[in-house]
Amino acid sequence: MSVAKKDYKRITTKTLIEMKENGEKISMLTAYDYTMAKIVDSSGVDVILVGDSASNVMAGHETTLPITLDQMIYHASSVIRAVERALVVVDLPFGSYQSDPKEALRSAIRIMKESGGHAVKLEGGSEIKDSIKRILHAGIPVMGHLGLTPQSIYKFGTYTVRAKEDAEAEKLMEDAKMLERIGCFAIVLEKIPAALAEKVAKSVSIPVIGIGAGNGVDGQVLVLHDMIGMTHEFSPRFLRRYMNLYEDMTTAISQYVTDVKAVDFPNENEQY
């Protein structure tokens, strides 16, 4: 059942919890640069994720692992300058928080101070509990991420659906409750069975945002470039493309090339 949308002038971590309490679904998309972030924010998206997926989308890497903390800060600072309404969450990249809680805190502080981001997101459960607690104790909001965690792709071996087996599903539920208990303001669940995701969402008071986790959660997140069809090789079951920008752009650029070659651009009205 749809719920009337409240007109929030600025989204905060508290806003998201209020939205869950009111039954209003949360919209979340990625952005990595000023121009795209401006469009996304102006469109009414609640949360903008400066994701480590920039490693794939912006740099062409096969995984999210190569992107650095400095690069994440660069992308996040570009996004922040564009945003007036949305909450901006920034991924801590692989290698910036796994070794010990002190390193995790240093990385999170750099994100907040140097980019102006509003919160950070970390992948994992009990194995990074101490790092999350250290960051939270410093007053930095944390979003959790469970299920398929792309920074662990070489452990999983494939981008397959996670938590289909009872043991892994139970561990995920325990981790979700732990993240709520220690103070995370929200959790992303990626590529897990819809029934489990809905059960998790009903078991915790904080928002649960899904990607490939069904519609029983509190909100949805997609990679912007996938959603608008700028990418065309990646076609998972959970992805809905709202336009085919790749085709539109190649058509437009090809026409530009044709016009330049034919000396049709610029015409008399397009020169001084």
User: Annotated binding site for Mg(2+): which residue ranges?
Assistant: 52, 91, 123
pLDDT at 223 (0 to 100):
97
CA distance 237 to 272: 51
User: Annotated binding site for 3-methyl-2-oxobutanoate: which residue ranges?
Assistant: 52-53, 91, 121
CA distance 263 to 130: 64
pLDDT at 161 (0 to 100):
84
Q: Which of 24, 180, 190, 198 is catalytic?
A: 190
User: Annotated binding site: which residue ranges?
Assistant: 52-53, 91, 121, 123
pLDDT at 151 (0 to 100):
81
Buried b (16+ CB within 10 A) or exposed e, 15-43: bbbebbeeebbbbbbbbbbbebbbebbee
Tell the burial category of 90 from Cβ atoms under 10 Å away from its Cβ (0-12, 13-18, 19+).
buried
CA distance 259 to 183: 58
pLDDT at 3 (0 to 100):
61
Residue 190 annotated among the catalytic residues of the structure = yes
Give me 239's structure tokens: 């992805």
For 104, phi then psi, to 5°, come to: -60, -45
pLDDT at 150 (0 to 100):
80
Q: Which segments in the chain show pLDDT lower than 70?
A: 1-5, 154, 156-159
pLDDT at 158 (0 to 100):
65
For 148, phi then psi, to 5°, come to: -75, 115
Give me 58's structure tokens: 């912006």
Whether omega for the bond prior to residue 141 falls within 30 degrees of 0, making it cis, is no
CA distance 82 to 175: 34
Q: Which CATH class is domain 13-241?
A: alpha beta
Domain with CATH 3.20.20.60 in the chain: 13-241
